[in-house]
Structure 1
């Protein structure tokens, strides 16, 4: 589950492009990253669906952390609704050549910065001419700027869109809710996934079980979709987690010696 179509795919594409560039460089012998109240656990609600939707983060919430697991893709980050900002991070391991890439995007409205950390192959940053600092990206220099995400609200996993597809939601008590999501004919919902072929689910996509947990502070903490096995597609869980409300760092534009303009090598990597 991701903020918008292509987010996880963008990370994978960049990782693949970096691997190709790294292979070339190494072969050339150039050398060798809501509030925080203490309210009691919610009691069963007269309208469980409305109560669950009310727990989804919105623009009034303080900064918080999140993670999503969508098939093999795991995103982590921070959302700062007051600043219209989000930070998205993913780690990818490459086997040939062997190295690990940690890539992070920081987005404030339409502005975007990228930071890349490469480990496991000595000198790889220098070979690829990639700085270790934040790089300010110019969207006009990107082949397809739409593939680089923008801040798109305080619910990066689109949990509200998923919950709204349920005909009914059952309050199981102790902050736990269950229901069935209809993933079949909702573009917003389908755009939330990159690791699951919704079309391949057929009729099963119309009734996908989910479990949501709301914490004692009234904030949604987890939403888990149990995707069934269909054909060659294995059963899997899609999990969104929201936490550290009011404890996560506020997001600001990188400044001073923390940032520089993105070099040509960064745009080359983003071409995929």
Structure 2
């Protein structure tokens, strides 16, 4: 795709953009574990690690909002455990042409919709024409159905597996925790992309973290300070959970707000 010169390269470039957007949703790829074990009944008081694990959302808190970021992307959305629903929104800016692709996914149990929008497109031609509606996807038409987001528990940021892999946890004040995480331990190793894990090397065994728990006992934020590796810069893995019980419920889009996805949507996702 080029400026003012037709549509050459449109499909390959947007396929790469779609791949990047789908990779961004890896933040919500569940590791099969929503929280760590509860404190042992015989303990007079939970340890800091047990208290922090108990704050991770397990689906009983009602709907809530979340944001997250990793080395390359930002993600935001809603979680509705009762409906087994999530809404995800993420954007990628094309480094050469400057336009931004925003991709949203809405998941309700086994059903999934997608919405795509382009911005900063002045002077561009060749962008695909997609309806400005929620586009219902047919998994049978996807080359990799598991590559699109799915509901896999309330802890969409995988805070539970990360805290479970903490080698030491300290409470620094009411609701504030610090410590280190061994990213090579247990299911924590699945949270990052393989390339990110490889670049960390031995440093992955001692990643500093901070966490905040709200007055209601629910996790508010978890932040991991990733060190510089190779030629890369230090970066932060972060997940924030807010508006417990007050965020809007997720409903199935209907009427003029939705339609079946056209062939171009699958072409974009499948590359």
Q: With structure 2 as the length reference, what TM-score do the two structures score?
A: 0.80
For 1:218-233, what aligned pairs fall within 5 Å after superposition? Answer: 218-233=217-232
Q: Which residue of 2 aligns with 1:179?
A: 179
Q: Check the 8 A contact 1:68/1:240 in 2, yes or no.
A: yes
Q: Which residue of 2 aligns with 1:259?
A: 258
Q: What is the rounded CA distance, in whole Å, between the counterparts of 1:207 and 1:130 in structure 2?
A: 45
Give me the whole-angstrom Cα distance separating, in 1, the residues matched to 2:127 and 2:203: 48
Find out whether 1:190 has 2:189 as its counterpart: yes
8 Å CA contact 1:213–1:221 kept in 2: the answer is yes
User: After superposition, what is the alpha-carbon deviation per residue over 1:177-206, rounded to whole angstroms, capped at 9, x for unaligned?
Assistant: 1111111243x3232224971122222111
For residues 133 and 266 of structure 1, what CA distance do their matches in structure 2 show? 12
Q: Does 1:14 align with 2:18?
A: yes
- The change in CA–CA distance for 1:111 and 1:156 in structure 2 (over 3 A counts) is same
The alpha-carbon deviation at position 96 of structure 1 amounts to 4.3
Return closer, same or farther for 1:123/1:110 CA change in 2, 3 Å cut-off: farther
CA-CA distance at 1:126 after TM superposition: 9.5
Q: 5+ unaligned residues in a row in structure 1: which ranges?
A: 1-9, 18-44
Query: What secondary structure sits across from 2:199 in the alignment?
Result: helix
Take 1:244 and 1:214, find their aligned partners in 2: how far apart are those partners? Answer: 13
Query: RCO higher in 1 or 2 (8 Å CA, sep ≥ 6)?
Result: 1
- Please provide the CA RMSD for this pair: 2.5
Q: Which segments of 5 or more consecutive residues in structure 2 lack a partner in the other structure?
A: 1-13, 22-44
Q: Does 1:87 align with 2:91?
A: no
Report what 1:137 is aligned to.
137
- Inter-partner Cα distance in structure 2 for 1:82 and 1:149: 17
Q: Report the Cα distance in structure 1 between the residues aligned to 2:229 and 2:207, rounded to whole angstroms.
A: 12
Change in CA separation of 1:168 and 1:16 when aligned onto 2, cut-off 3 Å: closer
CA distance in structure 2 between the aligned counterparts of 1:110 and 1:11, rounded to whole angstroms: 25
1:213 deviates by 0.3
SS at match of 1:50: helix
Shift of 1:237: 1.3
CA distance in 1, matches of 2:215, 2:15: 34
Aligned partner of 1:157 in structure 2 is: 157
Cα shift at 1:12: 6.4
- SS of the residue aligned with 2:114? strand
Aligned positions, number: 235
Partners of 1:229 and 1:78 in 2: how far apart? 31
1:49-101: per-residue Cα shift (whole Å, max 9, x none)?
Answer: 11101111111111100011101210001000111011111012225444222
Contact kept, 8 Å, 2:15 with 2:268, in 1: the verdict is no
1:202 is matched with 201
Equivalent pair of 2:17/2:101 in contact (CA under 8 Å): no
